[in-house]
Amino acid sequence: MPDAIRLHALSVAHVYQDRKGRSILTLGGIAVVALPRRAVAGIIAHELGHCHSGDTALSRLAFRWHLVIGKLESRYVGRSLHSFNPLTWVLRIYHWTYIAVWFANLRCAELAADQHEIEMVGRKHSAATLVLVHVLGNIKGTDLASVAESYVQANERLDQIFAEQIRRIRAATKSVWQDALTREL
């Protein structure tokens, strides 16, 4: 179980570990309001699968190494002096290998979280949730940035943008959802 549950304005859902080692489940307000209960249950099951397998602790630990690798790689790129140094090549090969292994591990972690979701809500609901989450992000004009932009252009107060975002999603027609599904596929 997560140590805390929070709402998020942009993300559909994610889980992370804070500096004290507590796991935080973050649910997007859009998912809670716009998606069916079974879909929200599937999202929660998926994210708890990440907590269960220890992905959050590994991500927290690796974050600093990713920063170090990024800084070193930015120094190496475009500097011809480094291209003649064999130590630089060894270090860069290590970086590329690390990154390849990191992404392979991420893929395995996603598959494990998907399996956990399937065990909790079933195959059909898991598949429907996956489609809903991805299609929801492709409905034009419903992301929070688009809603905020339209409010700013109309010189309106921003205190109702979340409600407007939900209204736009609920007002989307079947053809709009099908177009978003086609784009996502």
pLDDT given for residue 97 in this prediction: 92
pLDDT given for residue 23 in this prediction: 85
pLDDT given for residue 66 in this prediction: 85
* Tokens standing for residue 58: 């590994």
Distance CA 104, CA 86 (A): 27
Give 48-51 contacts, CB < 8 A, sequence gap 24+: 48/1, 48/2, 48/15, 48/116, 49/112, 49/113, 49/114, 49/115, 49/116, 49/117, 50/15, 50/109, 50/113, 51/1, 51/2, 51/15, 51/23, 51/25
pLDDT given for residue 183 in this prediction: 86
User: What would the pLDDT profile of 161-174 be if each residue is shown by its tens digit?
Assistant: 888 888 888 888 99
pLDDT given for residue 118 in this prediction: 92
pLDDT given for residue 35 in this prediction: 85
The side-by-side arrangement of strands in the sheet containing 13-17 is 4-8, 23-28, 13-17
Per-residue pLDDT for the chain (185 aa), expressed as one digit of tens each?
788 899 888 888 888 888 888 888 999 888 888 888 888 999 999 998 888 777 777 777 787 788 888 888 887 776 766 667 788 888 888 888 988 998 898 899 889 989 999 998 999 989 888 888 888 878 888 888 888 888 888 888 878 888 888 888 888 899 988 888 888 88
* Tokens standing for residue 10: 């942009």
To which H or E segment does residue 177 belong? helix 174-184
* 118-135 b/e (C-beta count within 10 Å ≥ 16 → b): bebbeeebbebbbebbeb
pLDDT given for residue 62 in this prediction: 80
